[in-house]
Chains A and B, each alone.
Chain A
Amino acid sequence: MSDTPFNYKITAFNTIVWKEVRRFLRIWVQTLVPPVITISLYFVIFGNLIGRRIGDMDGYTYMEFIVPGLIMMAVINNSYANVVSSFFSQKYQRSIEELLVSPVPNYVILSGFVIGGVARGLAVGVIATIMSLFFSGLHMHNIFITLMVVLMSSIVFSLGGFINAIFANKFDDISIIPTFVLTPLIYLGGVFYSIDMLPDFWRTISQLNPIFYMVNAFRYGILGVSDINVLFAFSMLVIFTVVLFFLSLWLLHRGRGLRH
């Protein structure tokens, strides 16, 4: 829709983002409280109780080592969950038709949902960071890298949630990917350990996991230690973002599950 005025697109984009933010704030007990409880338990059990027996890792206490990974885990899970549940709910209730019949270009629809997911991901990330202050001091090796990594990771998983929602036909379908794909990738992505601890074979396998790059780049931004080259991690994030964005846009354009 090349004839669409720029101001119109901005208004439509703001409307979608605000609607998404309003949604997760309205159901804050389902969206903001559970991550706080989960993260607190991780800090208490893994960081504090078990961590004391594990000792230092890469020159930091175990608690300090896992804080970046746990924050990133919260951001990833919530960005993904926000978009997949919001978009699928709208598809299921058919309220997405409000948008489909309107003149909003597809890339504005996609961007609006993604930024809505990023908003929840970052909100939970900030809450998790504040929670971590009760258990560990706040390090900040490079704030630019930290913010960029968390932002891009949030975008990548918001896009992932969008694709999941496009393909989902029933509510079960929006929990399959988080349970069987996302959670294993997060746990095997170096949140709780350094891949230096793994045998060569599993170390190589770990490098196929996109979350591994995000966690390590984020840990580098906070602590200054990483299992991989940060520039390479950034490159991977950019590639994932571009590929998933255009895949999402193509699916939206095709109207899969949306238009008949």
Chain B
Amino acid sequence: MTVEEVDDNCVGFLFAIMVGRFYSSKCFCMTPAICIQDLHKTYDNGFQALKGISLDVQEGDFFALLGANGAGKSTTIGVLSTLVRKSSGLVQVFGKDVGSNSYETKLSLGLVPQEVNFNHFEKVFDIVVTQGGYYGLPMKLAKERAERYLTQLGLWDKNQQQARNLSGGMKRRLLIARALVHEPRLLLLDEPTAGVDIELRRSTWEFLQEINRNGTTIVLTTHYLEEAENLCRNIAMIDAGEIVVNTSMKDLLKKLHQEHFVLDIRGELDNAPVLQGFGCELLDASTLEVGLESHQNLNDVFDALQSLGIEVKSMRNKSNRLEQLFLSLLKKPEAKAASEITVEA
């Protein structure tokens, strides 16, 4: 039943709207893909990697977990994939405790680890087919899926080569193909594009966006903040084992109160021009840096410059916005309250 079919029937119309909302809402009546509550992990050497983190990831989400080295990202991924044992807390995947070692829970997970961890002497094709066997796929289906994912990730022409002969970027894409062979509902990616060149990184992003559109929930840890900004709808930042921010990417970026642009101008200036209401600095004779508050707009800057006879040739962001925010958050203990964030550029 669609809304259009019942538009002459008021009751039916309202019912259709309710049904439509029910199915269009990702959170309503759905078990989250991941539910973590008060998760602690202390390693045998006494290092406290996680200090009571809590977060939910809804099914279908593309979620980023950001943090510096040693912040606790990989430990969190490790607990979800059962390679790391939690010290305490609740960790559920699709409503089931990962500690219960349930067949269904593990079947729903695909893991792309941070470090390459396949047998380097195996053939590329065999690595993916074998993984299919571990997840109960009959040989014929495992081979079909291996061909499909290796092709999609641009590795099919290497399928009979030993994995050790692949380049670094190819190895990382092989890890993704391997993790997808059983078509998991939840894909955990621990820095999947580390060491991958820009072109390959972007093609990997497109591939991940495609499988996310097809319904796979993706949780990504990354050092490339641009990666999180481009791919993810929701984000958590982790620092020293604690979640400092857990919000949507859109809301997080809105919290940037100031953004800086670098303008290349035609001709040369001796001093920075005075622009009413905008901070302006002369970086060199033909380059200006202009700061904008979130309520201001660039047209006003251009108008002000034009009135002074200054012509802008080109323009770029001074730096990655998310990076500024990230650094700001990790510097400020009080920044845990995301609503109070102000970026000092």
* A and B associate in one complex: yes
Interface residues in A208-260 (C-beta closer than 8 Å to B): 255, 259-260
Task: List B contacts of A93 (CB < 8 A).
Answer: 117-120
* A16 partner residues in chain B, CB cutoff 8 A: 133-134
Question: Which candidate, B106-114, B143-151, B205-213, B324-332, is the interface stretch facing chain A?
Answer: B106-114
Assess the A100–B43 pair: CB atoms within 8 A: no
Known pairs A98-B178, A101-B83, A260-B84; A12 contacts B134 (CB<8 A): yes
Q: Return B81 CB to nearest CB of chain A, in Å.
A: 5
Which chain B residues border A22 with CB–CB below 8 Å? 126
CB closest residue in chain B, given A14: B133
Interface segment, one of B1-9, B96-104, B254-262, B282-290: B96-104
Is A99 engaged at the interface, CB distance under 8 Å to the other chain? yes
Partner of B83, one of A12, A14, A260: A260
Give Cα A238–Cα B58 distance, bound, in whole angstroms: 51
Min CB distance A127 to B, Å, is 23
> In the complex the two chains form, what is the Cα distance from A112 to B113 in whole Å?
24
* Shortest distance between the CB of B40 and any CB in chain A (Å): 14
Consensus secondary structure, chain B interface: loop
Residues from chain A with a CB closer than 8 A to the CB of B82 are: 100-101, 259
A98 & B85 in contact (Cβ 8 Å cutoff):
no
With A12-B134, A14-B133, A90-B119 as contacts: A97 and B83 at CB distance below 8 Å: yes
What is the number of residues of chain B that contact chain A, defined by CB distance less than 8 Å? 33
- A181 CB within 8 Å of chain B: no
- Among A3-11, A128-136, A137-145, A196-204, the one that faces the other chain is A3-11
* Among candidates A1, A14, A260, residue contacting B78 with C-beta atoms closer than 8 Å: A260
Instruction: Kindly state the separation between the CA atoms of A194 and B229 in the bound complex, as whole angstroms.
Output: 76
> Cβ of B115 < 8 Å from any Cβ of A?
yes
B89 within 8 A of A: no
In the complex, chain B residues 136-186 whose Cβ is within 8 Å of any chain A Cβ = 136-138, 178
| Partner of A11 from B109, B120, B137, B178 at Cβ < 8 Å | B137
Of all A-B residue pairs in the complex, the 4 with the closest CB atoms, nearest first, are A15-B133, A8-B136, A103-B106, A94-B117
Contact with A along B117-132 (1 / 0, CB 8 A): 1111100001000110
30 A-B pairs, CB-CB below 8 angstroms?
A1-B102, A3-B103, A3-B104, A8-B136, A11-B133, A11-B136, A11-B137, A12-B133, A12-B134, A12-B136, A19-B133, A22-B126, A26-B121, A89-B119, A95-B117, A95-B118, A95-B119, A97-B111, A97-B113, A97-B117, A98-B117, A98-B131, A100-B83, A101-B82, A101-B106, A101-B109, A103-B135, A259-B85, A260-B44, A260-B84
Kindly list chain A residues whose C-beta atoms are within 8 Å of the C-beta of B113.
94, 97
Nearest chain-B residue to A104 (Cβ)?
B134
Q: Which parts of A93-127 form the interface with B (CB within 8 Å)?
A: 93-95, 97-104
How many angstroms between the C-alpha atoms of A144 and B136 in the bound complex? 34
Contacts of B137 in A (CB 8 A): 11
Tell me the chain B residues, 43-67 only, with Cβ under 8 Å from chain A.
43-44
Distance of A255 Cα from B84 Cα, bound (Å): 10
Contact of B134 among A1, A3, A15, A89 (CB under 8 A): A15
Contact among B85, B103, B117, B120 for A260, CB-based, below 8 A: B85
- A12: chain B residues within 8 A (beta carbon): 133-136
How many Å lie between the Cα of A41 and that of B107 in the bound state? Answer: 51
Which residues does chain B contribute within 8 Å of A260, judged by CB atoms? 43-44, 78, 83-85
Q: A11-B136, A98-B178 are in contact. List 9 more A-B contacts (CB 8 A).
A: A11-B133, A11-B137, A12-B134, A93-B119, A94-B117, A97-B83, A100-B83, A255-B85, A259-B83
- How many angstroms from the CA of A15 to the CA of B138 in the assembled complex? 10
Does B138 lie within 8 Å of A11, measured CB to CB? yes
Contacts of B103 in A (CB 8 A): 1, 3-5, 8, 103
Q: Which residues of A contact B133 (CB under 8 A)?
A: 11-12, 14-16, 18-19
Provide the residues of chain A in CB contact with B126, threshold 8 Å. Answer: 19, 22
CA–CA, A89 to B136, complex, Å? 24
Separation in Å of the A165 CB from the closest CB of chain B? Answer: 15
Residues of A within 8 A of B107 (CB): 103
User: How many angstroms between the C-alpha atoms of A255 and B89 in the bound complex?
Assistant: 20
Q: When chains A and B are docked, how far (Å) is the Cα of A198 from the Cα of B130?
A: 51
- Give min CB distance, A234 to chain B, whole Å: 34
What is the chain A residue whose CB lies nearest that of B110? Answer: A101
Q: How far is the CB of B145 from chain A (nearest CB, A)?
A: 14
